Structure 1
C-alpha cells in the first residue's frame, strides 16, 4: 500500500522486521491495511479515518496497542478475537452496537488494561460499565477512568449472583445459615 510505503520511506525504514509501530491517522483509509509483513509490529494507529468495517485478519496477533477511534466502525464481530496480546484498545467515537457480541469478541484479551468504548451506542446500553468489567477482568482503565474496587465488586455481584450469595453466607469456613451443632454432654 502506498500510504505505508510512504510512511516507511519518510522514516528511512528499509526492512519490514524493523517496524514495531505504524502511525496512519487521518489518511482517509476506508479499511484496515494489510500489515501482515510486519512481524514485530506492536502499535498501530488507524484513528481518524473512514473505516466502517473491520477485517483485521492481516493484523499480527502480537499487537499490543490498537487505536481505531474516530472512525465509523459498526461492529468488531469476527475481527479482533485473535489479538490476545492487546493491552490498549481505543474504539471510542465509532458506531459499535451490540454489547454482548462486542464483549464476546474481546473475551480472549486477558492482558487488556486500557480500553475505550465511549461515544458508541454500546456505551449507552443498561449496565454497560459493569458488563465490560465482568467480561474483561484485566481492565484497569475504562473510558479514560480508572476502575474502582467498588465497581469490580458491583460487577461481581451482578454477574456472579450465586457465587456472591455463597461468599456472603460463609464465615470462618462454614455457612452462617447452617445451624451450629451443639455438644451433647
Structure 2
C-alpha cells in the first residue's frame, strides 16, 4: 500500500469515528452496549468501518456512500436490518454469511455480479423477509427471481414487488408450458374434425 493511500484511509477512519461520536451524542448515548441502531448515510465511505464494539447493534444504515468492499469483521452478527444500497459494491462473498439474524437486507443499486456466489453467501439467512437486488448485474441473470426465492425461502418481499407468491413465480414456466401443450392439442383435434374430444376450456 502506498503512503498516500495509507493517509487517505487514516483520514477516513478519523472522520467516520467523528461521525459516530456525533451520532451518539445527538441521541444521548454514552455506552457502546446501548447502541441498537446507527446511521452513516452519505459519509463518502469507501469501506465499512469496524463496528464490532457495538455488540447489540440491530439496525445499520450505510447506504449512499462509495463502499466497494465488505469485511465480515466489521459487521455484528446480531444485525436484523442492513442498508447497503446505493454504493459501489461488486461482491458480498465472505462478508455476510454470518448475519443469520437479518430480516431486512437492501443491496440495490450496486455492482454485484455472480448470482450463484451471492446466493451461496446469503443461504444461511433463513429469517430474511425483505431484500432488494435490483439495479445490480445479478438481477439481469437468467432465472434470477426463481433462484432467490429457492435459496431464501423465508423471503416475503423481493425488490419492492410485494409479497412473493411462490406458486405463481416458481411454477409459472410449468403452467405456461402445460397450457401451450393443451391448446396445441385442441388445435389438432379441431383440424381433424373431432370437436367432441376438445376440452371445454378450449371451446368458445
TM-score normalised by the shorter chain: which range applies?
Answer: 0.7 to 0.9
Cα distance in structure 1, aligned partners of 2:58 and 2:100? 12
Residue by residue, what CA displacement relative to the aligned partner does 1:12-71 show, whole Å, maximum 9, x if unpaired? 211011110001111111111111111110000000000011113221111000000000
Is structure 2 residue 103 aligned with structure 1 residue 87?
yes
User: How far did residue 81 of structure 1 move?
Assistant: 0.1
Corresponding position of 1:174: none
CA contact (8 A) 1:32 1:56 kept: no
Structure 1 alignment gaps of length 5 or more: 158-185
> Are 2:98 and 1:113 aligned?
no
SS in 1 for 2:73: coil
Say if 2:167 is the partner of 1:147.
no
Once the two structures are superposed, the pairs formed by residues 59-98 of structure 1 within 5 Å of their partners are 59-98=75-114
Q: Which runs of 4+ in 1 moved over 2 A?
A: 149-155
Tell me whether 1:48 sits opposite 2:64 in the alignment.
yes
Q: Where does residue 47 of structure 2 map in the other structure?
A: 31
Q: Name which of 111, 115, 134 aligns with 1:99.
A: 115
Give the conservation status (yes or no) of the 8 Å contact 1:50–1:72: yes
Deviations 1:77-109 (A, max 9, x none): 000000000000000000000000000000000
Tell me what 2:10 maps to. none
Cα separation, 2, equivalents of 1:109 and 1:10: 32
3-state SS in 2 of match to 1:57: helix
> Which stretch of the first structure deviates more once superposed, 22-31 or 55-64?
55-64
| Alignment TM-score, normalising by the size of structure 1 | 0.81
Give distance in 2, aligned partners of 1:112 and 1:23: 21
Gaps of 5+ in 2: 1-16, 175-204
Greater fraction of residues in strand: 1
Q: Deviations over 1:119-175 (max 9, x none)?
A: 0000000110000000101100000012113245428x7xxxxxxxxxxxxxxxxxx
Q: Which stretch shows the higher mean deviation, 116-125 or 31-40?
A: 31-40
- How far did residue 4 of structure 1 move? 0.9
Matches of 2:79 and 2:168, distance apart in 1: 28
Answer with 1 or 2: which has the greater Rg: 2
TM-score by length of 2: 0.74
